[in-house]
Chain A
Amino acid sequence: MSSELKTVAVRHQNNAEIRLESIGGLGANLAGKMLAEAGVLRMGLNGWNAASYGSEKKGTPVKSYVRLTPPDVQIRGANPIEEPDVVGVFHEALFKTQNCIAGLKTDGILVVNTTKTPEQIRKESGLHTGTVVCVDAMGISVEEKTRVNTAMLGALCRVVPILDPDKVRDVIRDTFQGKYPGLTEANIRTFDRGYAEVTVQEFPPEAGEIPQPFVRPVSDFGYQTQNPGGIINTAGNSVLKDMSASRQGFLPDLNLAECIHCGNCDQVCPDMCFVWEPKENEKGRTFMFLQGIDYQYCKGCLKCVDVCPTSALTQLREEDLYAEEHSVKHDFPIIVG
């Protein structure tokens, strides 16, 4: 396979620190593992791979880390990668809630699953300098009935010099052959298309520019500000969180003209997204009326569509800004601190 694009980042030829930014369920963890395994077992490199761990569930942000070095270099630390050479963003919506490019080196490579242009992604991510690589991994994986991870691996192999696409492809083949043999060929195709269908643009630093040093974030909740015992006295403050990055391409669309206000959607919604108001009906009696959906919390499970007895709720392929423009916000009685 051709690797002419790799010249964009020859600076990272001998080793690479790669961070994959994703949400649980897209296969970033497996992708990181396959990359590192290809490096260690097939490219003759030394390598290390880990994922962020916490209480993360499906749909919540996760990171996978891959360190690759020449074979004789020891990798001693077990700490996550703070200043990567390469960031792979599996889920574009993460730019809204996460600093995906945190610490990315000024000459780093940002690979994003998106239908947008590198210039648009540069703006959306806040990237200043470096190389932006766009690939429609979602589109490819929908067509191939696979996950985005193998398409992202293809794109990464295209632009990261240390990665040998043939070796990564071999690992993908072996991984799927062992567990899901029926998916092997589709994943190889997905990988090849991810490799082929990249759009790359380099944004060099301006002359005389001094790169900002990486600063490790510090928690607001320190030993002088935490309540002793870890007690949380801010009841219900999870309403401040934005869960919209959990959606994987779909959301429920509400057509109020068809709604009979039965309440089924509200009852099965795991994320309390439905907003109601008491109103008088035409006979002057007060009833609850559905007002809309607060998409800030919607994870796109579509249970509401499943239980809707009319066609008021339907599944919609999410487009940019749709949720923002159609959200009906909950009127929570928030006391600002």
Chain B
Amino acid sequence: MAISEQKIKTTADNTLQEPVIPYEQVIDFRSGNEMAARAAAQINYHVMGYFPITPSTEIAEYLDEMKTHGEHDMVMVPADGEHGAAGVCFGAAAAGGRVFNATSSQGFLYMMEEMPAQSGTRLPMVMNLVTRTVSGPLDIRGDHSDLYSGLNIGWPILLARDPQAVYDMNVMALRIAEHADVRLPVLVASDGFFTSHTKRRVQYFKNREVVQQFVGPAPKNYPHVLDPSHPVTIGPYMNDPDLMNNKYQQSLAMYRAEAIYDQVAEEYAQISGRSYPKVDAYQMQNAKVVMFILNSAAETAKDAADKLRSEGLQVGVVSPNLLRPFPKQAIQKILADAQVILVAERSDEFGAHGPNLTQEVKAALQELGSHARVLSRVYGLGGREFYPDDAENLFRTAWTVLEGGESANFDYYGVNPGNPEAKAAHTRLQPLTKEETTGFVSVTQDASTGALKVKVPSLRALTGKAKRVTPGHGACPGCGIFPGIETFLKGIEGDVVVLYQTGCAMVTSTGYPYTSHRVNYLHNLFQNGGATLSGTVEMFWERKRRGEIEVGDDPTFIMVSGDGGMDIGMGSALGAAMRNHKMIILEYDNEGYMNTGAQLSYSTPLGHLTSTSGVGNGRYGKTFQHKDMPQLMAAANIPYVFTGVEAFALDLVRKGAKAQWYAQHEGMAYGKILISCPLNWKAPEDAGTRIVGAAVKSCFFPLYDVEHGITTLTYNPEDKGERVPVEDWLSQMGKTKHLLKAENEPVLQEFKDEVERRWQRLKAKSENPLL
């Protein structure tokens, strides 16, 4: 728990009466993310701009769920990525209301350029940073490498070491952010998974009025863009000498935040009984050896300190609750008599001979004239566990130094050299031969019309074509991704180089030290595949031109992305399309961000249930229509665009073959395949083929291609007499069952109207080469 008896008493002796609890609190069993959502709902922020990323995503999910129970009125805007989410927050803050967000890791880095813009413009808001390792390689578990990137953005940073503190800090954060002396956005940082996803005994105020009274009404006397009687210009162009004065103001405000923190924390202790001194000091009476460590791991270190104290070793733990502004004087006071200080950090500052806090602690001690020895240890990267015996080992290292032993000033703790004898480290499959992937499909161009003629054999014959993906991947039972990708790849002859954007396909096929790819594979980031593969393609052509690469047949470059990657990476993909690189973009669309827990994507159709488009309390699922990415790509005027599903296998194989021809001869091909997600569609595992087939036959997902702007329906269910009502498709999935209920009839009709409108437009295009 956040507060030990001892701490409460210490604080009480200094500043407070014995804490009394005047406001009724509920005892519950909750995780950090649940508590962040609880605080935000009780505050009832106006707007949350967000984008899902593990492990902070749950905060938006819980808020969505609470909204279906009528527990708050926040407007939740699912942005196109974290950069967009931060933009939503900036714009909303500039409009004078209260703004909330939550993110992690890459999401935080992706919104990074917005961070100093928000603080420099002095627009208060509160954001939860649920800490997670920064790529690459991609690691979804927790360390502080994202947090350390945020030390310089001008946001006060509160640290929340456990779920209770997440709630408490969130309530305090808004007060600090909006305080007249501060007026800055505030970050509340808690440890991803260690705090965000572990449940503990917690308390929160039963009535949200208590919280609302504590934070008070949103201050009104600040400029915003919604008051026509006081027009303001927010975000001017400001060069020297003015900008430096702006920064000085900001710097002063940041330092003032320390006193405001003290004041707010003291008031909060009065109503909650929980106090959070700027710096948490544990077992520091006469402590000779001290571990300086942040957040959840500090609690683990306290267990080790107890154990060593019982052996007579005078050790203590120091852990700030306030990280920015850095509470220098408090730390100086606490560390004044320490002899060896081990700063344990869950992030490195590469090349600095000790990460950021090592340097800051050293700087604070230097001012004191302290001769304490400071050891620096990087631990727990990438979510590596920090057990009590790890903390004990670190204490003992420091104690050895106290007793005159030696140990490196800076080192990593918890790394291992590995086992060079391990056979698994070298076992692999032979590369695919040309014969295994060539000679199955042919594409020829008619010399007079320019039309492509594609010959594909039967599915039976295609079983002889080697698969580029190997079994042993970790996709869910019945997942449609790999049948979709492999059916498409049946149409592709010869060598391929694939790039996967972050998503289920990437995560399930490349979990270190295993890979399910028999071909060259590249992953960069969630949203940047279009640009990344552009670079790879151009390097291939240039190295080929310079004679540096000996290849018989040119490889085909294929980017694979989910619909999530095609939301956040839309700009990058469209940029690649504008440049018309010789590559293919294959989007597998399962109508949601399934890798992070089934949040809505822009491809989620109207009314569909996701973890951020709930059903209940007047809500009926997603509130806006699905994105039509093939038409966006067609409008980019690339040579080839197609749609496909595994249920129409040879149609998809043929389109793969055409896509390859265009990517080798002309430029970009883009294709979207609808693939099933039994888990999040809430459908049987064996039903995927049928469901995507019904999506086609209902005209929700028509099969067509666009060659040089000319649209061809490759399967017209009306001509075949096979069209089925949209309801026949929707009734096969749990995520859409509610749409068939009488109360949702208007939504269903709106969706059906949109399906029909898009189908009629597509038919018109197929009938007129100029459309």
Contacts and interface: CB of A to CB of B under 8 A. Distances in A.
Nearest to A66: B199
A236 B515 contact: yes
B579 to A, nearest CB: 27
A266 B463 contact: yes
A267 B649 CA distance: 8
Given A53-B55, A237-B429, A238-B472, A276 B464 contact: yes
A220 B425 CA distance: 8
B514 A241 contact: yes
Query: For chain A, which range describes its interface: under 10, 10 to 19, 20 to 34, or 35 or more residues?
Result: 35 or more
A311 to B, nearest CB: 16
Interface stretch (A125-133, A140-148, A257-265): A257-265
Given A76-B299, A330-B471, A303 B688 contact: yes
A51 interface: yes
B200 interface: yes
Given A230-B136, A266-B463, A294-B471, A48 B426 contact: no
Contacts of B193: 50, 53
B385 A79 contact: yes
A164 to B, nearest CB: 15
B487 A57 contact: no
Given A49-B198, A240-B427, A78 B475 contact: no
A57 B475 contact: yes
Nearest to A37: B29
A337 B423 contact: yes
A246 to B, nearest CB: 6
B480 A270 contact: yes
Given A270-B479, A270-B481, A240 B199 contact: no
A238 B514 contact: yes
Interface stretch (A13-21, A186-194, A221-229): A221-229
Interface in A266-308: 266-274, 276, 278, 287-288, 290, 294, 296-297, 299-303, 305-307
B415 interface: yes
A158 to B, nearest CB: 23
B429 A239 contact: yes
A79 B386 contact: yes
B27 A236 contact: no
B455 interface: no
- Interface secondary structure of A, over-half rule: loop
Interface stretch (B491-499, B679-687, B760-768): B679-687
A267 B458 CA distance: 11
Interface in B679-707: 679, 685-690
Contacts of A41: 27-29
Contact of A263 (B463, B509, B686): B463
B143 to A, nearest CB: 13
A78 B296 CA distance: 7
Contacts of B236: none
Nearest to B431: A235
Interface string A28-42: 000001001100110
A142 to B, nearest CB: 16
Contacts of B418: 219-226
B483 to A, nearest CB: 5
A225 B481 contact: no
Interface string B462-501: 1110010111111111111111001100000000000000
B509 A58 contact: no
A218 interface: yes
B504 interface: yes
Interface residues of B, number: 94
Nearest to B421: A220
Interface string A168-212: 000000000000000000000000000000000000000000000
B733 to A, nearest CB: 15
A223 B416 CA distance: 6
Given A47-B29, A58-B679, A272 B471 contact: yes
B300 A76 contact: yes
Contact of B429 (A51, A58, A222, A236): A236
B309 interface: no
Q: Which of B195, B427, B480 has the most CB of A within 10 A?
A: B427
Nearest to B518: A236
A13 to B, nearest CB: 20
Contacts of A50: 193, 197-199
Given A75-B200, A333-B430, A306 B460 contact: no
A54 to B, nearest CB: 7
Given A53-B140, A55-B508, A225-B418, A77 B387 contact: yes
A335 B429 contact: yes
A306 to B, nearest CB: 4
A238 B300 contact: no
Contacts of A314: none
A2 interface: no
Contacts of B471: 238-239, 243, 271-273, 294, 296-297, 330
A57 B508 contact: yes
B464 A51 contact: no
Interface string B384-398: 011110000000000
B55 A337 contact: no
Interface string B503-518: 0100111111111111
A25 B173 CA distance: 38
A222 B418 CA distance: 4
Contacts of B646: 267-268
Given A236-B516, A237-B427, A270-B477, A40 B201 contact: yes
Interface in A37-93: 37, 40-41, 46-51, 53-60, 74-80, 82
24 contacts: A50-B193, A55-B140, A57-B475, A78-B296, A78-B300, A82-B387, A221-B513, A224-B417, A225-B418, A234-B515, A235-B517, A238-B470, A240-B424, A240-B514, A262-B460, A269-B483, A270-B478, A270-B479, A276-B463, A301-B477, A301-B479, A303-B483, A303-B686, A306-B689
Interface of B: 1, 4, 27-29, 55, 136-137, 140-141, 191, 193-195, 197-201, 296, 299-300, 302-303, 385-388, 415-420, 422-431, 458-464, 467, 469-483, 486-487, 504, 507-519, 595, 646, 649, 678-679, 685-690
Given A236-B515, A240-B427, 10 more contacts: A33-B199, A78-B195, A234-B425, A236-B516, A240-B472, A241-B472, A272-B469, A288-B464, A302-B685, A306-B690
Interface of A: 24-25, 33, 36-37, 40-41, 46-51, 53-60, 74-80, 82, 218-226, 229-230, 232-241, 243, 246-248, 261-264, 266-274, 276, 278, 287-288, 290, 294, 296-297, 299-303, 305-307, 330, 332-337
7 closest cross-chain pairs (CB), A and B: A337-B426, A222-B418, A225-B418, A238-B472, A263-B459, A301-B478, A236-B429
